[in-house]
Structure 1
Amino acid sequence: MQTYMLKGLIYPPTGFIKVMSLLTVAFLGNNGITEMRGNQLQYSKFWNVGLIYPPTGFKVSGRKGMFMVYFPAFLFGFASFCLFPNEGLRFILVKSALTIHFLKRTLEVLFVHKYSGPMFVDIATMISLNYFINTALMIYAQHLTQGLQEPQVDLKYPGIVIFLVGLSGNFYHHYLLSKLRGEGKKEYKIPKGGLFNLVICFHYLFEILGFIGVSCIAQTLSALSFTLGSAILLMGRSYGTRRWYLSKFEDFPKHVKAFIPFVF
């Protein structure tokens, strides 16, 4: 019954897509569990806390490092309109959503976010490769659906709405975070405003909502696996973030959860 329901919701994946989707969930999920255990990746406020890798190698500014993270995935999304032209409305929507998402993140890096610490180039490269490979994989998986029968349940239009809600909510809470720190300042404050009074990482929750939207538009195993793996990763990162705030601020409100209001 579960297999039948899944077939009604997503395109049948090839063997290659099945393997890559499993690897995606395993890689991202393992990183999420690692961060939940206290080993955060070396960037932003965690650049020198609970290191996964020894603190060696080249460092760049946080802004340059995060630009390295998002820009290649945006470039591939943009190039995909030339690589895979004229393949239907759903494919156009998938390419557009991924390109818009990473364009937004790149512009936020350049004009919105403020950074307190450097970033190791190897960490930036690892995260960049993750986004680049998974963006390419999701677009390629969509290309492989050409000529196949559409899923019985069409989720692309609800997916557009979910994607836009996630995109706008993520941007708004990133904007609120940027206003916590004055120009040239490096101190941290407890996030306030928006939905931060319920969850310390509501921007992550909206990011996952955006990827759920992409999964609904695409309806492929590749998009679904990336969304699931990213959710596990960001849950772990949110847990680590809340623990960091608790260790730094005695007045941190205990009712504020890490990722899901009133639950986690």
Structure 2
Amino acid sequence: MQRERERERERERESMATYMFMQFMYPSAPVSVTTAMSLITVASLVNGGVSEIRGKNFQYSKFWNMGHKKSTPKLSGQMGMLLVYTPAFLYGLASFGLYPYGGFSFMLLKSALTIHFFKRISEVLFIHKYSGPMFLDIAMVLSVNYFIITANFIHAQYLTLGLQEPSLDLKHVGIVVFLMGQIGNFYHHYLLSKLRNQGDKEYKIPKGGLFNLVICPHYLFEILGFVGVTCIAQTWYALSFALGTAGLLVGRSYATRKWYLSKFEDFPSDVKALILFVF
């Protein structure tokens, strides 16, 4: 009898938790592939963050051991990053023709993803300065990943058409949060670009904006941007990607702060990695 009551209470708690989530999210579409991709996305991104903390850095970052021998062809840093972002941007543009219907939320999601990658391409062309080349195989892997992620975002939203909408409409909140994330990320990328003159490969401690409080405010705003996308989409895939991105950038910001501490004796100890005054 006692066990039955405990099971009943457990079912009630699960029902309440499900009900609360349904206030914010579309119900899961009955497609196992989409569910699997959501789990794979969050797991792989968080694993990337854990790897960064352990010192196994992504091969296109400045923390990777550039002395590593590879026979793969190289591209300039700028051409490599253009290859990374352009297919996802083109798919975002094409999605307006591939999925011409779907209502305001769908249009907002397609627009947000297209704007996001347009901003990244613009930064590659006009803002970022690159200190070294990029291996072609790494650029291609990243390019395919971003393309698949963008396609998954849009397809997951397509699968919500005809489903019961969440009780809480977060679209307008999402627009504001997304734009804040994009603007803040762009601004801090601009500040980073001003640290070095053309051809200068020396690293310096960033200043200005939120750099006086955290070493990676551009990552903080990138997370904020994808929180905005999640509020626009209100799908499980969008939530999984936002959580995974946060996990990845937590690890990368930790590695970044550790790197600056090792390279600069005058690095301010009160400057955190990602979250103001906390981490």
Q: Same fold (TM over 0.5)?
A: yes
Matches within 5 A, 1:68-87: 68-87=83-102
Does structure 1 residue 148 correspond to structure 2 residue 163? yes
Let me know the Cα RMSD of the aligned residues: 1.4
Percent identity over the alignment? 67
**What amino acid maps onto 2:112 in structure 1?**
A
Q: Which moves more between the two structures, 69-78 or 126-135?
A: 126-135
| Structure 1: distance between partners of 2:131 and 2:92 | 30
Answer yes or no: is the 8 Å Cα contact 2:226–2:242 preserved in 1: yes
Q: Deviations over 1:41-93 (max 9, x none)?
A: 12242342697xx6442221111111111111111111000000021000000
Structure 1, unaligned runs of 5 or more: none
Answer yes or no: is the 8 Å Cα contact 1:34–1:236 preserved in 2: yes
Q: TM-score, normalised by structure 1?
A: 0.95
* 2:177 alignment counterpart: 162
Answer yes or no: is the 8 Å Cα contact 1:43–1:117 preserved in 2: no
| Structure 2: distance between partners of 1:55 and 1:196 | 35
Q: Deviations over 1:170-205 (max 9, x none)?
A: 000000000000111111100000000111010010
Q: TM-score, normalised by structure 2?
A: 0.90
| Structure 1: distance between partners of 2:70 and 2:258 | 22
**What amino acid maps onto 1:165 in structure 2?**
M
Q: 1:182 is matched with which residue: 197, 200, 204?
A: 197
* 1:23 alignment counterpart: 40
Structure 2, unaligned runs of 5 or more: 1-15
Answer yes or no: is the 8 Å Cα contact 1:39–1:49 preserved in 2: no
Bigger CA radius of gyration? 2
Q: 1:209 is matched with which residue: 224, 240, 248?
A: 224
Q: Say which SS state the counterpart of residue 222 (structure 1) adopts.
A: helix
Q: Deviations over 1:120-159 (max 9, x none)?
A: 2222222222221111001001111111121111000000
Does structure 1 residue 95 correspond to structure 2 residue 110? yes
* 2:12 alignment counterpart: none
Matches within 5 A, 1:209-228: 209-228=224-243
**What amino acid maps onto 2:115 in structure 1?**
I
Answer yes or no: is the 8 Å Cα contact 1:44–1:118 preserved in 2: no
* 1:255 alignment counterpart: 270
Answer yes or no: is the 8 Å Cα contact 1:101–1:167 preserved in 2: yes
Q: 1:105 is matched with which residue: 120, 133, 142?
A: 120
* 1:13 alignment counterpart: 28
| Structure 1: distance between partners of 2:40 and 2:67 | 25
